Amino acid sequence: MEITLALLKPHVVRNVYAFREIKQIIQQNFTILHTKEVLITKELSEHFYAEHKGKFFYNRLVTFMGSGPCHAFVLQSKGSIAKWRELMGPTKVFKAVYSHPDCIRGLYGLSDTRNACHGSDSEASATREISILFPELNINQLTAIDSNS
């Protein structure tokens, strides 16, 4: 069993239909350990996306993430990190639409920035990102339970 962070971006949270459909995909594939709506301030977003600082899309990305509430999930399943990234599909929406039309980004992405969702890319990223967005959780306890299950 493995845990990951899934984050639905503001335009998806605003779209009741898209949000419901994606939540259904999540429920079918994972155990939801924790979930909440979260307003990611620009400051928090800059911390969350620190690895992308200096890239041409960085400012656009951190501004967009603060444009409305996001919805965060701590998900658990066998191979949850790869599974959620597979369900999201390619980062770039034009690629997603043509090569993986049924993936979440292919269905609900609007642009490379507004690509519907985020997923941790490694166990270390998952731990880091869950700690940032769910500071109230005891991450050590969460990962210990995870590795024992």
* 85 annotated as belonging to a binding site for a ligand: yes
Least Cα distance to 35 among 64, 69, 65 occurs for 69
> Contacts with ligand ATP: how many residues (CB under 6 A)?
10
- Which residues, 20 to 59, sit near ligand ATP by CB under 6 A? 52, 57
Catalytic residues: 118
Q: What angle do CA 133, 30, 138 make, to 5 degrees?
A: 35
Percent helix / strand / coil, the chain, rounded to 5: 55, 15, 30
Answer for which of 35, 67, 95, 112 binds ligand ATP (CB under 6 A) is 112
Helix pair 16-29, 80-88: axis angle to 10 deg: 150
Q: How far is the CB of 136 from ligand ATP (least distance, A)?
A: 23
91 is a site residue for ligand ATP (CB under 6 A):
yes
Is residue 43 within 8 Å of 97, Cβ to Cβ? no
Q: How far is the CB of 134 from Mg ion (least distance, A)?
A: 18
Q: Which residues are annotated binding-site positions for ATP?
A: 9, 57, 85, 91, 105, 115
Residues that bind Mg ion (CB under 5 A): 121
